[in-house]
Amino acid sequence: MKQQEPLETSFANRIAHVLTEALPYIRRFKGKTIVVKYGGNAMIDERLKNSFARDVVLLKLVGINPVVVHGGGPQIGNLLQRLGKTSEFVQGMRVTDAETMDVVEMVLGGLVNKEIVNLINRQGGAAVGLSGKDGDLIRARKISMSQLQSTAPEIIDLGHVGEVASIDPAVVDMLVHSDFIPVIAPIGVGEDGCSYNINADLVAGKMAEVLKAEKLILLTNTQGILAKDGTLLTGLSLREVDALIEDGTISGGMIPKVRCAMDALRGGVNSAHIIDGRVDHAVLLELFTDQGIGTLLVRR
Ligand SMILES: Nc1ncnc2c1ncn2[C@@H]1O[C@H](COP(=O)(O)OP(=O)(O)O)[C@@H](O)[C@H]1O
Ligand SMILES: CC(=O)N[C@@H](CCC(=O)OP(=O)(O)O)C(=O)O
């Protein structure tokens, strides 16, 4: 008969330490909602995707309510390229004509959404995929060029690019309270009945606000918010973030991300975290360890 190797003492101690360190956090977050934005750039390889799905399932099993909002920008770009279409971006927003909108809906609402649902379910969770159309979840409003400081004067219309006009959380509440894990694609419906392509960070921020979430966690492809010299800024207040945008330390795609996190904080979410989705089990490390990872944004 094969004998089980005894655990090396220091390794066993480490496991015990990790589990006991997690305990106060599990107690603190039990019954609370945590909105996790899973960006397309963090969906790099199978190992990372599975580690993300395991984290989400573990949260649910210890009594926390994860709600996943996903992106899929690179995946939309890949399919558009295969179809011979190129995308233009204005302030990080993809100019979306009717044909591009069809692709966005296929990729986000179909491929990416169902892949995440399947990953979570294979790890033992019960995920249900939704787009903003399901249960009239996300009402969208068209974004006009005048709302953006465009550096591309030749583009006069963003097409089907929307912002969140309102969220009706009824379908998400119903799923959460029936022990399902909602997985939401950032597509909204306009007053005109048309589909709108919404930046996933914007949807995640508003979702966290409307669901009165305890935390908003944004997974991205950097360690967090970095200073000019490349060091990680571990904790920032709203005032400090404003100053970093002002002096150009925060730029590009990080601007809408911090803006929506700041809006969520002002709307009552207790904390927002920008963390590195390229790290295995990033969500667990953030939630259940004393030091956390990435950048913590707080209201004060
Ligand atoms: N101060 C900063 N700290 C970290 N990243 C920054 C900063 N300023 C700009 N960025 C850029 O923002 C990017 C993240 O935004 P984005 O590419 O839109 O992410 P995602 O695809 O995850 O939504 C980083 O990869 C980096 O290039
Ligand atoms: C209007 C707009 O730009 N929408 C995004 C939606 C996907 C997204 O936000 O994906 P990431 O989080 O992976 O960047 C897009 O078309 O790429």
The helices-and-strands tally (H runs, E runs) of the chain is 10, 14
Q: Which ligand is nearest to the CA of 43?
A: 2
Global pTM reads 0.93
Ligand 1 atom with minimal separation from the 220 CA: 22
Q: Which ligand is nearest to the CA of 96?
A: 2
Per-residue pLDDT at 95: 94
The CB of 104 under 6 Å from ligand 2? The reply is yes
Question: What is this model's ipTM?
Answer: 0.96
Which regions of the chain does DSSP assign to beta strands (E)?
Answer: 33-38, 65-70, 89-90, 93-94, 127-131, 138-142, 161-167, 181-185, 187-189, 195-198, 215-220, 235-237, 271-276, 295-298
Per-residue pLDDT at 291: 81
Per-residue pLDDT at 150: 59
pLDDT digits (tens, 9 = 90+) for 132-156: 999 999 999 999 877 776 566 666 7
Contacts of 194 (CB under 8 A, 6+ apart): 101, 160
- Gap from CA of 68 to ligand 1 centroid (Å): 20
Q: How many residues make up the chain in this entry?
A: 300
Per-residue pLDDT at 32: 97
- Gap from CA of 70 to ligand 1 centroid (Å): 16
The CB of 132 under 6 Å from ligand 2? The reply is no
User: Which residue of 88, 94, 107 sits with most ligand 2 atoms within 8 Å of its CB, as the best mutation to test the pocket?
Assistant: 94
User: What is the C-alpha R_g of the chain?
Assistant: 20
The CB of 197 under 6 Å from ligand 1? The reply is no
Per-residue pLDDT at 109: 97
Per-residue pLDDT at 92: 82
Per-residue pLDDT at 105: 98
pLDDT digits (tens, 9 = 90+) for 189-228: 999 999 999 999 999 999 999 999 999 999 999 999 999 9
Ligand 1 atom with minimal separation from the 277 CA: 22
Successive 10-residue mean pLDDT values, the chain, 300 residues? 64 79 91 96 90 96 97 96 93 92 98 98 98 97 78 76 97 96 98 96 97 96 96 95 93 89 95 94 91 89
Ligand 1 atom with minimal separation from the 254 CA: 12
- Gap from CA of 271 to ligand 2 centroid (Å): 23
The CB of 92 under 6 Å from ligand 1? The reply is yes
- Gap from CA of 200 to ligand 2 centroid (Å): 6
The CB of 186 under 6 Å from ligand 2? The reply is yes
The CB of 188 under 6 Å from ligand 2? The reply is no
Per-residue pLDDT at 18: 77
